[in-house]
Structure 1
Amino acid sequence: MNVIITIQHPAHVHFYRHVIDQLEDNGDEVHVFARENDLAVPLLERYDIPHEVLAGSQDSLFGLAKVQATYELRLLRRAIEIDPDVMTAIGGVAVSHVARLVGARSVVFIDNEGITSHRITTPLAHVVCTPKRFEEDYGDKHLRYNGYHELAYLHPDRFDPSPDRLREYGIDPDERYFLLRFKKWDALHDVGERGLSQEGKERLVEILAEHGQVYITSTDELPPELEQYRLPVPAHLIHDLLYHADLYAGDSATMATEAAVLGTPAVRIQSFAARERDMSNFVELETEYDLLRSTADEETALAHVEELVADEAVTRVWRQRRDQLLEEKIEVTGFVTKLLEAQADGVRRSVPRPAQVSQ
């Protein structure tokens, strides 16, 4: 099987890296393409995943459109040369377009409802794969699985957190500390949305610094007064740091979910949470598993943070809730690998329908 995988975000590297290993172990040929990203490309390099960078980053909405067009054109040229059986991505705008032009099957993974870019992705994708509770319906091409993207790399079968890896960088996991994530709101699905204000970030740090060490990972520019809190470990250790943290808070949806599935108390602060219907993953994690606090209001978020920090039993309770979640959800990497190989088999047999795989 010949597979093309595209990467636009560091979480995409984590999602696909074990899948890549399994595919290659099975004798499949994998080609990875990326857009320039301050974390994603270094992660690809760190995990020794061969890849090609097809386009740079963007600094405006117009720049985003220009970069996307360049990216799709270059991906098309390479796909013509490779002649893939399957093309896959998270989000998958370019993959859904290019696969149709080169006779490949496209498998697109999404977990966020109500995103404008889905309108130019899902109509052309051959398979749209989402978590089970996803509210939007894409008809016969829609394949649901009982898990989250993040369980492709944070399920215990795939991830064993190490305190020793943190100690190498001067962090004592037995001491109280908190992890904050601030993102730059410049992706296609971020248009019109917002995260924490500068004042909100500063107040969040002020509250937490009274209770322990604060570490910040940020793709947005940090003001000088917050630079002292910048993450002291390399990006590939972020999940070790997140697992051992006493609390996560920030405006990154991905890291909020990562914290929840790791059993780390989490507060998500972003405008998506203000919608009449929030995204189904966050609703499920909050209402069914009680592993997340999610809000668009900064005052409410700060109150959640203060409540969780004051609760001495919170870590033990969150880990018990995580155990329940893991009993009910699947290990996602095996599912994805099986799905891609079944789709490739569909290409060879000219079967234009989603594969029937174990969910």
Structure 2
Amino acid sequence: MKTIWFDIDNSPHVLLFRPIIEILKSEGYNIIVTSRNFAQTLPLLEKYNIPYIRVDGHGGKNKIKKVFTTIKRAYGLYKVLKTYKIDLMVNHGARAGIIAARMLDIPIISAFDYEHTELLLIKLFSDRIIIPSVLRGLFSGSKFYYYNGLKEEIYLCDFKPDNSFLLNFPFDTNSDKPLVTIRPPASHANYHNKSSEIIYNYVLKYVLQNNCNVVLVPRTNVDISAVQNLSDNIYIPSKPLDGPNLVFYSDLVISGGGTMVREAAVLGTPAYSIFTGKPASIDIELVKQGKLTFIRTLADVTKIKIQKKRSRELVIPNTNVRDLFIKIILEKIN
């Protein structure tokens, strides 16, 4: 039985790899998952009953500290996994995992969809790299494999709305008040731009001035403490919610990151990105398609339309992106 190792070091990648792990398990492969205590990553792994080995490490905002923490976590992964016989490592931009896999002489399949992040380790050490086809003109070579669409389609192709999802919310979700989901910027990411925090604070005030209910999906405890006494109309879940259901039942989504706005674009919910760093090519394409609006200045904030969603018609994507990921994994391991 061959063993595949997934290093899942950030919240969105739990949903991303969950269906792939389930399919590979059903094909008879042994799966090892490593993770770290960062954002909602561990609670989400527990929510979906994915066993994991915890190896912590995150350097915060300081870039030098990030480098040393990445190396330290890589060594921690090496020590934990050196007694295992692992045939392949899979990740989505998990740099510590990539270093550890190279130290262990394990073949590496990596993926990324944001071209402006630090990519040296990914390009240098990965055997195969899976990226969106909109990046084809920027990255080429025998290592690169391209998919049409969004990585979020990997799990949204199986999405089924839960009719009871809103029942436990602390406000009347059947009222005329729009339901607004807000995700703060990723202040600890290596691609973070401080302007995003200014925009976020302004957007939050703007939204609360309107007659609506807000679900805040925090990244850190700082995000929570900053809004705890701001308004009774803000709901901060104590446990990770089902992200796709939250996006589907929201009337609009505002996020400082990419995953949630792309989920909204797929599921037909108006999406606004308050990320002010260099925009991803995939997000620029969504703007062209009318599925995403950039909020990059204070003047742009008035572009946000706080209103009930006109339609909840659900268009489910096909399984093509998921099928390609699994095909590449199986081809490499076999």
Same fold (TM over 0.5): yes
Superposed CA deviations along residues 291-338 of structure 1, whole A, max 9, x for unmatched, are 1001321321x1210xx335x7x633xx67x74x93xx6443333222
Distance between the aligned counterparts of 2:128 and 2:194, measured in 1?
A: 30
Report the alpha carbon displacement of residue 126 of structure 1 after superposing the two structures with TM.
0.5
SS of the counterpart of 1:31?
strand
Distance between the aligned counterparts of 2:209 and 2:253, measured in 1?
A: 13
- 1:35 counterpart residue number: 36
CA contact (8 A) 2:185 2:200 kept: no
- C-alpha change, 1:203 and 1:141, in structure 2 (3 Å) is closer
Report the alpha carbon displacement of residue 217 of structure 1 after superposing the two structures with TM.
1.3
Distance between the aligned counterparts of 2:202 and 2:260, measured in 1?
A: 19
- 1:350 counterpart residue number: none
- C-alpha change, 1:83 and 1:286, in structure 2 (3 Å) is same
Distance between the aligned counterparts of 1:48 and 1:99, measured in 2?
A: 25
Whether 2:160 is the aligned partner of 1:160: answer yes
Distance between the aligned counterparts of 2:199 and 2:284, measured in 1?
A: 27
Distance between the aligned counterparts of 2:200 and 2:18, measured in 1?
A: 35
- 1:352 counterpart residue number: none
- C-alpha change, 1:23 and 1:141, in structure 2 (3 Å) is same
Report the alpha carbon displacement of residue 22 of structure 1 after superposing the two structures with TM.
0.8
- 1:231 counterpart residue number: 236
Letter in 2 for 1:248: V
SS of the counterpart of 2:6?
strand
Give the share of equivalent positions with the same residue, in percent. Answer: 21
CA contact (8 A) 2:261 2:272 kept: yes
How many residue pairs are counted as aligned between the two chains? 324
- 2:302 counterpart residue number: 303
- C-alpha change, 1:262 and 1:171, in structure 2 (3 Å) is farther
SS of the counterpart of 1:148?
coil
Taking structure 2 as the reference length, what is the TM-score of the superposition? Answer: 0.88
Report the alpha carbon displacement of residue 233 of structure 1 after superposing the two structures with TM.
6.4
**Which segments of 5 or more consecutive residues in structure 1 lack a partner in the other structure?**
346-359
**Which segments of 5 or more consecutive residues in structure 2 lack a partner in the other structure?**
none
- 1:80 counterpart residue number: 82
- C-alpha change, 1:64 and 1:337, in structure 2 (3 Å) is same
Report the alpha carbon displacement of residue 251 of structure 1 after superposing the two structures with TM.
1.1
Distance between the aligned counterparts of 1:69 and 1:162, measured in 2?
A: 42
- 2:207 counterpart residue number: 207
- 1:335 counterpart residue number: 324
Distance between the aligned counterparts of 1:256 and 1:120, measured in 2?
A: 27
Distance between the aligned counterparts of 1:131 and 1:74, measured in 2?
A: 31
Letter in 1 for 2:161: P
Distance between the aligned counterparts of 1:246 and 1:178, measured in 2?
A: 6
Distance between the aligned counterparts of 1:152 and 1:257, measured in 2?
A: 12
Distance between the aligned counterparts of 2:134 and 2:319, measured in 1?
A: 14
Distance between the aligned counterparts of 2:123 and 2:74, measured in 1?
A: 16
Distance between the aligned counterparts of 1:285 and 1:199, measured in 2?
A: 21
CA contact (8 A) 2:180 2:215 kept: yes
Larger fraction in helix = 1
Distance between the aligned counterparts of 1:199 and 1:113, measured in 2?
A: 23
Taking structure 1 as the reference length, what is the TM-score of the superposition? Answer: 0.82
Alignment of 1:102-121 (within 5 A): 102-115=104-117, 117-121=118-122
- 2:145 counterpart residue number: 143
- 2:310 counterpart residue number: 315
Distance between the aligned counterparts of 2:310 and 2:236, measured in 1?
A: 22
